[in-house]
Amino acid sequence: MCKILQGLLQAKPGKGGCDSKVGIMKLWTHECYRVFSDRLIDDKDRKFFQDSIDDLLQLDPFSSALNSLFDNKIISIYGDFMSDPGPDQRYEEYIDFPTVKSFCEERLEEYNYEPGMVPMQLVLFRDAIEHTCRIARVIGMQRGNALLVGVGGSGRQSLSRLAAFLKGFKIFMIEITKTYRKMEFHEDLKRLYVQTGVERKETMFLFTDTQIVEESFLEDVNGILSTGEVPNLYSPDEMGEIREGIVQAARAAGVEETSDALYNFFIEQARNHMHVVLCFSPIGDSFRIRCRKFPGLVSCTSIDWFSEWPVEALSEVASEPRGR
Quick one: 169 and 311 in the same domain? yes
Q: Are residues 13 and 75 in the same domain?
A: yes
Least Cα distance to 306 among 131, 134, 82, 120 occurs for 131
C-alpha distances (whole Å) from 19 to each of 84, 236, 292 are: 20, 52, 42
Other CB atoms within 10 A of residue 273 CB:
21
Does any domain span residue 201? yes
Specify whether the CB–CB gap between 169 and 161 falls below 8 A.
no
Q: Higher-confidence residue: 83 or 137?
A: 137
Pair 183, 310 in one domain: yes
Buried/exposed code over 208-234 (b: 16+ C-beta within 10 A; e: otherwise): bbeebbeeebbebbbbbbeebbbeeeb
d(C-alpha 115, C-alpha 244), whole Å:
31
pLDDT number for residue 104 = 95
> Which of 9-13, 151-155, 243-247, 257-261 has the least mean pLDDT?
9-13
Q: 180 and 245: one domain?
A: yes
What is the predicted pLDDT for the residue at 71? 45
State mean pLDDT over 16-31.
77
144 with 63, same domain: the answer is: no
> What distances in angstroms separate CA 151 from CA 23, 28, 74, 282, one per listed residue?
36, 30, 23, 7
Q: Which of 95, 114, 133 is the last residue of a domain?
A: 95
Q: Do 174 and 319 belong together in one domain? A: yes
In this structure, the answer to whether residues 133 and 233 fall within a common structural domain is: yes
Whether 294 and 276 have beta carbons less than 8 Å apart is answered as no
Q: In the prediction, which pLDDT does 317 show?
A: 73
Tell me: do 75 and 175 sit in the same domain.
Answer: no
Do 158 and 90 share a structural domain?
no
- Each residue's pLDDT tens digit, 33-76: 889 988 888 888 888 988 888 777 776 554 554 554 544 455 67
Q: In this structure, are residues 209 and 201 in contact, taking their beta carbons and an 8 Å threshold?
A: no
Number of domains in the chain: 2
Domain CATH code at residue 149: 3.40.50.300
Asked, for residue 103, whether it belongs to a domain, the answer is no
Bridge-based pairing state of the strands 203-208 and 77-79: unpaired
Which residues is 276 bridged to in the sheet? 205
What value does the mean pLDDT take over residues 234-245?
A: 90
304 domain-assigned: yes
Is 118 within a domain? no
Domain annotation covers residue 113: no
Q: What's the confidence (pLDDT) of residue 93?
A: 86
Q: Is residue 299 part of a domain?
A: yes
Say whether pLDDT at 21 is over 80.
no
Average pLDDT, the chain: 87
Shared-domain flag, residues 80 and 11: yes
Of 95, 113, 146, the residue at which a domain comes to its end is 95
Q: Which of 4, 5, 129, 115 is nearest to 76 (CA)?
A: 129
Asked, for residue 220, whether it belongs to a domain, the answer is yes
Taking 90 as the threshold, does the pLDDT of residue 304 lie above it?
Answer: yes
Using alpha carbons only, what angle is made at residue 251 by residues 245 and 257, rounded to the nearest 5 degrees? Answer: 80
221 in any annotated domain = yes
Q: Are 161 and 128 in contact (CB under 8 A)?
A: no
* Max CA pair span of the chain: 64
Instruction: Tell me, rounded to whole angstroms, the distance of Cα 165 from its chain centroid.
Output: 12
What is the rounded CA–CA span in Å between residue 226 and residue 232?
Answer: 16
Shared-domain flag, residues 75 and 13: yes
Condensed to tens digits (0 to 9), the pLDDT of residues 108-119 reads: 999 999 888 888
Note the pLDDT tens digit of each residue in 174-230: 999 999 999 999 999 999 999 999 999 999 999 999 999 999 999 999 999 999 999
Q: Does residue 46 contact residue 40 with C-beta atoms inside 8 Å?
A: yes
Q: Secondary structure of the chain: what % helix, strand, coil (to 5)?
A: 55, 10, 35
From 95, 115, 146, give the residue that closes a domain: 95
Report the pLDDT value the prediction gives residue 6, as an integer from 0 to 100: 82
CA angle 274, 276, 280 (to 5 degrees): 170
Beta strand segments in 67-145, E: 77-79, 92-94
Judgement on whether residues 57 and 152 belong to the same structural domain of the protein: no
The domain in which residue 21 lies consists of 1-95
Q: Say which residues have a Cβ less than 8 Å from residue 104's Cβ, sequence separation at least 6.
A: 124, 129, 132, 162, 166
Residues 6+ apart with CB under 8 A from 31: 3, 4, 7, 8
| Interaxial angle between packed helices 311-318 and 126-139, expressed in degrees from 0 to 180 and rounded to the nearest 10 | 110
